Structure 1
C-alpha cells in the first residue's frame, strides 16, 4: 500500500489587492494576532477566483480555492495550467514559503524546492557556502553535505566559480547550482517550478534526466511545474490541472495534457493572431482535416495553411512545424527555408501551405508545434505550442490490420508471394 507524501484539505490562499489595512487600528491588531496564532483571518472577505481576464469587484483574490488532493510517495506529478492558474502559489504553499489562508497541508518528509532564480541562496555568500547553508536548512549534518558536494559542483559545472559570491553569477549559473543542490541533497520531496526555462537546452535535458533518476531510481516524490507538455509527458505519470485557482483535472498525464489544451481554448483547427507593427508574427494556421469535428481519416490527404505578417523583410527566414501525438512524442517534422521558397523577403502578408498526400498516422490525438525564426541572427520570432488539435481515426476498410499502440504511422507497402 502506497504511503501518502502530501495531502491537501480545503486548501485556499487569498491575496488582498491594494492596501492591507482593515481601516482601523484595533482590527489590524486583531488580524495580526489571529495570523500569529495560526488562526483564520477574522476580516478576510469572501472574494473572487483569480481570473485575470476580467476585472473583479472585490479587492480579495483567491489564488487557490478549496484545493483537495493526495500525492503518494514516489509519485512524479506535473502541475499544469495557464498563467495565473495558481501553480506557483501552490508550490510556495507546499514549500512553506507562504502559509495558506484556510485549509491544511500535511507533508511527510523533507522538501527541497527550486521556485525562482535566487530562492534559498544568500547573494553575499559563495557557491560553496550556499551549498552548506541549504543542506543545514534541510537538517543535514556537515559530513552528509560533504558526501554530495563534489557531485553537486560537477553537475552544476561551476567548479571554477565555487568560491565566488553568487551575486556575481549569471542567471543561468544561479539556476544550475540551485538545481544541483535541490536534486542532490537528501530530501524526500523535490519541487521544481518552471525556473529551468532560464537554462540552455542541454542543461534542461540534463535536469529532466536527473529528475527522472531521482524519482524512478531513488523513489523520491517529484512535483514539476512547466508549460512544456513534452517535458511533463516525459517526466510525470500524474498531473494536476489548475484553472482559476481550482483543480480542473487530476489523473494520468496523457489525459491531463489533453484537458490542458482544451482549457487553453485550443480546440479549433484554425489559429488566429493579430499582426504586429514591431515583429513578424504568425497570424493564421488552418488544419484542413478530411472530416468535420477535428477528425481525419488515416490515409486521406491533409493540408495545412499558414499566414505570416512581417513588418520588415527577413533575409533568411526558417519556418518549421512538428506533429505531436497524445504522449507528446514528435512523430513528424517539416521544415522550409527561405532559399527553398521565398518566404519573407518583402514586407507584408505571406501565405503558404504544406500538404500530405496520404497522412498515415495511426489513430490518436495530435497537435502542432510551430517555430518561426531568422537563421542569420538566430532570433526566434514565435513558437506556438499545442495548437490546432485533431484526431486521426482509422478508415472502416483498414481496421482489420490496425493494432493499437503498434506504431505512430503506417507506411504504404506491397506484399508479394514468390513461388
Structure 2
C-alpha cells in the first residue's frame, strides 16, 4: 500500500452538450439549492454515454464514468483508446486543469504535465527564459532549474536557438524543450498526452529512452497516452483501455493493445458512399475473395487470396498508380505493394472499375491487420485514399504443409525453408 503513488477512486466527469460551462443559470441555481440542503446534485443521474458517433437526446454527457485504478511508484502506465474515449479528460483531471464531477484522486509527490505542445510557454520569451518559467510552473525552485539548465538545453537539441523567442520555434522544437524541462526537473509523476507525436523519429527514440531511465533508474511514475502502439509496447509496463469514458481493460501491454485494436467490428467487407460530387475517382468497396472467387471472412496463414477493389471514375484515366500498405497490430507498416513495382499498367474507364490484387501464400502470423490504399495519377496527384479503414483478421494455417497450424511461430512473418544436415 505504501508503494501506491496515485489512486483514482470513482472518478466521473460530466459535460453539458453545446454550452460552455456547466449549464444554464437555472441549472446552477438548482445545483446550489440541492447542495445547501445536503442533497445530491440532481443532474448526476442524467447524461448519455460518451459515444461520439451517436446522437443523444440528453443535454449532458459523461466524458468519464466511474474510473477506478491504482498506480505504483516507478510504474509506466499506458492509457490507450480511440479518439474521444476520455484519455485527455482523465489526464487533465490528474493535472488539476479541470476538476472531476464525482470521485477523488490521491497522489504523493509532484506532478508535471505535457498535455499540449508548448503548454506554459510564453511566445515572447526566449527558450532559456521559458525553461525558468515552465520550471516555476511545475513547482521547481530557481536553484533546481539552474542546476539542470545545461542538461535541459543539450537534451532538447535547441542550443542554437535557446536565446531566441519561442514564437520563432517550430512545433517540434517547442515540444523538445517542453519535454526536456519536464523530464529533467524530476517530478514524481510525469503525465504525457500524445505530444511526442510532434517530434521527429530521432527525438521520439531519445524521449522514450529518457522516460525508461527516469522510471527504472529514478523510480518515478509515468502516465503515457499515445496512439503509437510501438511506443506503448516499448515503454509501458501496464495499460488501461478506455472506451466511451469507461475502463474496459486493466492488464498487460500485449493484451491491452489487442483489446484496443479490436474495439469495433473486424470486418472483411468495406463500403462507403461518395459524399463528394466533385471527386473524380472514388474507392467504393473492398472485399476479400479466395481462389474460387468466394467472399472470405478470415484469412489463414499460407492462404492464397485476392483483394477486390471497386472504383468509380468520372473520366478515363490511363496508367494510374495503386499503392497498398498493410499495417500490423502496433501500427507499423509491414508490407508495401504497388503496380509500379511489378510494372503492371492499370487504366480506369469512365464508370465502374474492378481492380484485383492477388496475394499468394500469405506469410503473416495470426492477428489483426489494417489496409491502406492510395490511388494516384502518374504525376503523383492523389485521386482517392482509404487509410486503415479496412481491417482483416488472420488465423493460424498449415503454412508449411505439415498438417500442423503455425501456432508456435515467432517473429513477424512465415518463410518457407528447409533445414537439413549436409
Give TM-score, length-normalised by structure 2.
0.81
- Displacement of 1:240 in angstroms is 1.7
Could you tell me which residue of structure 1 aligns to residue 102 of structure 2?
Answer: 102
- Displacement of 1:28 in angstroms is 7.7
Q: Is the 8 A contact 2:396 2:405 kept in 1?
A: no
Q: Is the 8 A contact 1:111 1:138 kept in 2?
A: yes
SS in 1 for 2:182: helix
Find the partner of 2:325 among 321, 336, 342.
Answer: 321
SS in 2 for 1:395: coil
Matched, 1:385 2:384: no
Could you tell me which residue of structure 1 aligns to residue 55 of structure 2?
Answer: 55
Specify every segment of 5 or more residues in structure 2 that has no aligned partner in the other structure, as ranges: none
1:181-330 map, 5 Å = 181-265=181-265, 267-275=266-274, 276-277=276-277, 282-288=283-289, 294-308=297-311, 317=321, 319-324=323-328, 326=329
Could you tell me which residue of structure 2 aligns to residue 175 of structure 1?
Answer: 175
1:354-393 map, 5 Å = 354-362=357-365, 364-370=366-372, 372=374, 382=385, 384-385=387-388, 387-393=390-396
Q: Is the 8 A contact 1:316 1:339 kept in 2?
A: no
Q: Is the 8 A contact 1:282 1:307 kept in 2?
A: yes
How many residue pairs end up in the alignment?
Answer: 410
- Displacement of 1:232 in angstroms is 2.6
Could you tell me which residue of structure 2 aligns to residue 111 of structure 1?
Answer: 111
1:321-340 map, 5 Å = 321-324=325-328, 326=329, 331-337=334-340, 340=343
Q: Partners of 1:400 and 1:338 in 2: how far apart?
A: 34
Specify every segment of 5 or more residues in structure 1 that has no aligned partner in the other structure, as ranges: none
Mean Cα deviation higher: 178-187 or 340-349 = 340-349
Q: Partners of 2:402 and 2:90 in 1: how far apart?
A: 47
1:65-144 map, 5 Å = 65-144=65-144
- Displacement of 1:102 in angstroms is 0.5
- Displacement of 1:155 in angstroms is 3.1
Could you tell me which residue of structure 2 aligns to residue 398 of structure 1?
Answer: 402
Q: Partners of 2:337 and 2:210 in 1: how far apart?
A: 31
- Displacement of 1:348 in angstroms is 6.3
SS in 2 for 1:103: strand
Q: CA separation of 1:335/1:64 partners in 2, compared to 1, >3 Å: closer, same or farther? A: same
- Displacement of 1:21 in angstroms is 3.1
Give TM-score, length-normalised by structure 1.
0.82
Could you tell me which residue of structure 2 aligns to residue 153 of structure 1?
Answer: 153
- Displacement of 1:339 in angstroms is 8.7
- Displacement of 1:379 in angstroms is 7.1
Q: Partners of 1:302 and 1:395 in 2: how far apart?
A: 15
Mean Cα deviation higher: 132-141 or 376-385 = 376-385
Q: CA RMSD in A?
A: 3.8
SS in 2 for 1:146: helix
- Displacement of 1:13 in angstroms is 0.8
Q: Is the 8 A contact 1:323 1:366 kept in 2?
A: no
Q: Partners of 2:106 and 2:52 in 1: how far apart?
A: 29
SS in 2 for 1:263: coil
Q: CA separation of 1:407/1:175 partners in 2, compared to 1, >3 Å: closer, same or farther? A: closer
Q: Partners of 1:380 and 1:109 in 2: how far apart?
A: 53
SS in 1 for 2:148: helix
Q: Is the 8 A contact 2:305 2:358 kept in 1?
A: yes
Could you tell me which residue of structure 2 aligns to residue 4 of structure 1?
Answer: 4
Q: Is the 8 A contact 1:316 1:338 kept in 2?
A: no
